[in-house]
Structure 1
Amino acid sequence: MSWLVFWLPAVIMTGSRGCLKCSPEAMGLLEEVKGPYLDGKLRGDTERRSTLKNLLTTSIEGLSSQPMKKGIYMGVIDETTLQLLADHFKRSMNRIMENQFDGGQLFNEITWSLQDLLATFQKLQKKFQNVYCSNSCGKMDYLFMSCFSCNTHVYSCWKGFRCGERKLNVEADEDLVLDCALRWHRYNHGARTYAFYRIVGDKEQQMTNTMDSFLMKKEANANDTGRYRCKMLSSSGETYSQIDFQVTVVPSGKTTWFPRPHPTLEGPIMMGVSSRAPPPEPDWTVWIVIGSTGGLLFIIVGAFLWYYRRQNEKEEEEEESGNDKGDEDESESSEQAEK
């Protein structure tokens, strides 16, 4: 990026410090680790204590010596990325200090934590760089912090404030929602407000000025058909982006449904063509559960009845068998008496 040609030489002349040194909290914890903590844990191991202190110092300063190429490092950092890096460093050091590491184990834990810090720094910087000039339109301000001097500098990426026109069909008596938030708005540095206008005869009639990126009008009617405009304004009133809306209020039931845009896509995060959602798909889950439960109950009852009937049949068979045996015994007794 061409702006680096002018930015980096100035900050490099101030000397190497390391991005993390711009965080007072992280530096305070570093001094505690290098001082009281290591002095206490390695009191009798002077050589290892000295090695770890030097390793901590050079590793922190070495963050500013990373290759300045796309996707890894650019010599600058923003406040959010610096805070994430500092939080990671503090968690690592606090974890070490809270555990009873000694000798070689302590040395290995600190070494591994510093290697992990470097990997985290590179990942955070890659994400940070993806924000640079991510606006496809409008004006975007960044607040950069030099990793060498910790001085800040505001840089603007200007791509024209007009961000197109959106056509919006709304059914009568439904809510009219105008949303002009763009993905890159949240990364813009500085306070911002949103001004909404209705365009009448090529003239802007201001409706509201708010911190919210959307405007809602309840129960739209035919009189709401027309052209609208939304501007994102800086704290000084400068237009940073502008989106126009061509709104048409149609009779109920005349709206054609379109899928809503994914919120991470570039472009305004808008409602669909209408704020009324399409009729939901029928949900057969309840009926499936009821049917399954009823079927299972039917099987259980049927099995019980079959078992009960089978038992009755066995009892009847046994009773008949007993009667037949009794008749046979009586017949044999009669024959013996006759003899």
Structure 2
Amino acid sequence: MGPWRLPLLVAALAGCLLPARGCVMCDPNVVEALKSLETDYLPGHLEAKHHENVMERVKQAVEAFKDLPIDEDSYMGVVDEATLQKAAWSLLKDLKRIMDSDVKGELFVKELFWTLHLAKDNFASYAAQFQKAGLMLQPLIWCSTCQKQVHSCRKSSNCGERKVKVHQMEDMILDCELNWHKISQGLTDYSFYRVWGNNSETLMSKGKEPTLTKTMVRPKDAGTYRCELGSVQSSPATIIYFHVTVLPKRIVEEIPSPNTETKDEVALGEVTLDRPQTATTLQSQSPKPEKVLRSRLVGLLIWGFVVLIASVATV
């Protein structure tokens, strides 16, 4: 294959990928990286007769990115911008690693297609990171056309129930935020309600903060609470119920610090005055019987020796 056909092959590759895209090809940096691989790297690292076949297989591998099973809980043929950027960056990093390694020939081909295989698996894991419940409004990119539109993920707005246990006189924190809230569009305010037994509700707070905090709770604070995240549409985006149980006050046992002196402890070198002495203390301070007997025997020996000298002197 002559050098004049290389630009045409690159253009044909890009043209073939545009209709199907495979999502990662929606990122212009990926298109540029594949062009660089074709024009800058292949001529010096692979025989010319293999260029066309390799690039055709690359085209098919990238197109296969979109051939993921459609599942409403994971991949729906669309991705958000953050997912696209993450998948594209991962692929670009691996392509750069191959080109920097200067690998050639058959080893280069194996490394390239193994990298594309791993990149597809990474893309599948990234694309599965959608919310499991709630109404999400988000700008998404259609993998088939690379068009970006605001997409409504219509799932049940009831996001389940939470059981919360808190001790009396401690703080109760109810968190209504889900991991997809920050990337969604068209959301308004968080509203927290106290739900009563007769199905009536009392609004406790409303605003941008996703948490409700109540300090020093008492037994009367136990019960059911409801959080609702509003949206620009008629229905809320998220509803969560909290069932709060107030436990008895926590009993904390005070343990003296090891650095704190007690009544029976005195720092080294200190002298205590007017300290009451217990029987144990007096007993520890009194001499032992063995020492008393020994001192008496020594005294008798000394007096006997004195008497003996005095008798000799008299004679």
Q: Structure 2 length normalisation: TM-score?
A: 0.57
Give the structure 1 partner of residue 263 of structure 2.
none
Residue 237 of structure 2 aligns to a residue whose secondary structure is strand
CA offset at residue 149 of structure 1?
Answer: 0.7
- Contact 1:78/1:144 (8 A) holds in 2: yes
Question: Is 2:26 the partner of 1:27?
Answer: no
Going from structure 1 to structure 2, the CA distance change for 1:53 and 1:250 (only over 3 Å counts) comes to: closer
> Greater helix percent: which structure?
1
CA offset at residue 127 of structure 1?
Answer: 5.9
- Pairwise mapping of residues 170-185 of structure 1 onto structure 2 (< 5 A)? 170-182=166-178, 185=180
- Pairwise mapping of residues 43-54 of structure 1 onto structure 2 (< 5 A)? 45-54=47-56
Q: Distance in 2 between matches of 1:163 and 1:20?
A: 32
Q: Distance in 1 between matches of 2:103 and 2:111?
A: 13
Q: Where does the alignment leave 5 or more consecutive residues of structure 2 unmatched?
A: 1-17, 254-315
Give the structure 1 partner of residue 154 of structure 2.
157
- Pairwise mapping of residues 1-339 of structure 1 onto structure 2 (< 5 A)? 15-39=19-43, 41=44, 45-64=47-66, 66=67, 68=69, 75-102=77-104, 104=105, 107-122=106-121, 124-125=123-124, 128-129=127-128, 131=129, 134-135=132-133, 138-141=134-137, 143-153=139-149, 154-159=151-156, 161-163=157-159, 166=162, 168-182=164-178, 185=180, 189-190=184-185, 192=187, 193-198=189-194, 202-211=200-209, 213-221=210-218, 224-225=221-222, 227-234=224-231, 238-247=235-244, 249=246, 251-253=248-250
Residue by residue over 1:78-118, the C-alpha shift from the partner in whole angstroms, topping out at 9 and shown as x without a partner, is: 4343233212221221112212334x1xx532443234313
Residue 15 of structure 1 aligns to a residue whose secondary structure is helix
- Contact 1:96/1:110 (8 A) holds in 2: no
Q: 2:62 is aligned with what amino acid?
A: I
Count residues with an aligned counterpart: 231
Q: Distance in 1 between matches of 2:171 and 2:74?
A: 46
Residue by residue over 1:216-253, the C-alpha shift from the partner in whole angstroms, topping out at 9 and shown as x without a partner, is: 22222456456533212336685212223454555525
Q: Distance in 1 between matches of 2:53 and 2:225?
A: 66
Query: Please, what is the CA RMSD of the aligned residues?
Result: 3.9
CA offset at residue 125 of structure 1?
Answer: 1.9
Percent identical pairs in the alignment equals 25
Residue by residue over 1:162-204, the C-alpha shift from the partner in whole angstroms, topping out at 9 and shown as x without a partner, is: 445556453332111212345x645863364533234578243
Going from structure 1 to structure 2, the CA distance change for 1:224 and 1:77 (only over 3 Å counts) comes to: closer
Q: Distance in 1 between matches of 2:28 and 2:239?
A: 39
Going from structure 1 to structure 2, the CA distance change for 1:156 and 1:33 (only over 3 Å counts) comes to: same
